[in-house]
Amino acid sequence: MSTFDELTSNWIAPAAIYRGAPFWSWNSELDPDRLCRQIQSMHDAGLGGFFMHSRYGLKTAYLSDEWFECVGTCVEKARELGMKAFLYDEDRWPSGPAGGFVTREHPEFRLHYLRAGLHGQPDSDADFVAVFDVETDGNELQTYRAIADVDDAEGRVLAFEMTTQEPNGWTNDGGYLDTMNPDAVAEYIRVTHDEYAARYADDFGDLMNTA
């Protein structure tokens, strides 16, 4: 078939990869039979695939045996109907903590960030990255100079401290991932991508794609 004929054919009857694929919110107790009925409805409506996306309200434990049973059922239903099954590599978003598994078990892998504070006299034992002696006029900075120790300040102190994100409910009490830490990212890949690959690697790039 020529390129033109192929383009014409795909325009008239697009292959699955060219059809719409919704972000399919998994936000309740998952049931394989119900999931298959929903996939059939998507196929009947002309959609080419679906993104299996864990969302707020999910009652089936993320990455559990039951979770993977449901994913596997959906993959096989997609195969039967000639659709694409797209994986989403996180519970909610953004990708990183793996539904809290990585950052709950490894607090050292939680997001690190700089916190700035303007103090009269900060705790001299705090682990500051940088400290400045400053003069201010209301909220406006007038002058500043770097100092080695908070005790060297003559006025107010602007201190920058490296701190770790506190656990939060959005990440299932884990906190977000320190994406600048290669060990943290490697653990995230082990918990998520490697688990999917162990089950579905033969279908990657054909039946299955990732988001």
Do 119 and 192 lie in one domain? The reply is no
The enclosing domain of 74 has a CATH number of 3.20.20.80
Strand order in the sheet with 23-26: 23-26, 49-54, 84-91, 208-210
The most confident of the ranges 12-26, 72-86, 197-211 is 72-86
Do 56 and 131 lie in one domain? The reply is no
pLDDT tens digit string along 67-76? 999 999 999 9
Mean pLDDT of 170-194: 96
Within a domain: 7: no
Strand pairing class (112-119; 208-210): unpaired
Q: What is the structure's pLDDT at 7?
A: 81
Do 120 and 135 lie in one domain? The reply is yes
Do 138 and 201 lie in one domain? The reply is no
Closest CA to 185 of 95, 93, 88: 95
Which residues pair with residue 137 across a beta bridge? 140
- Domain membership of residue 182 as a residue range: 12-106+177-210
Under the banding of pLDDT at 50, 70 and 90, the label for residue 139 is confident
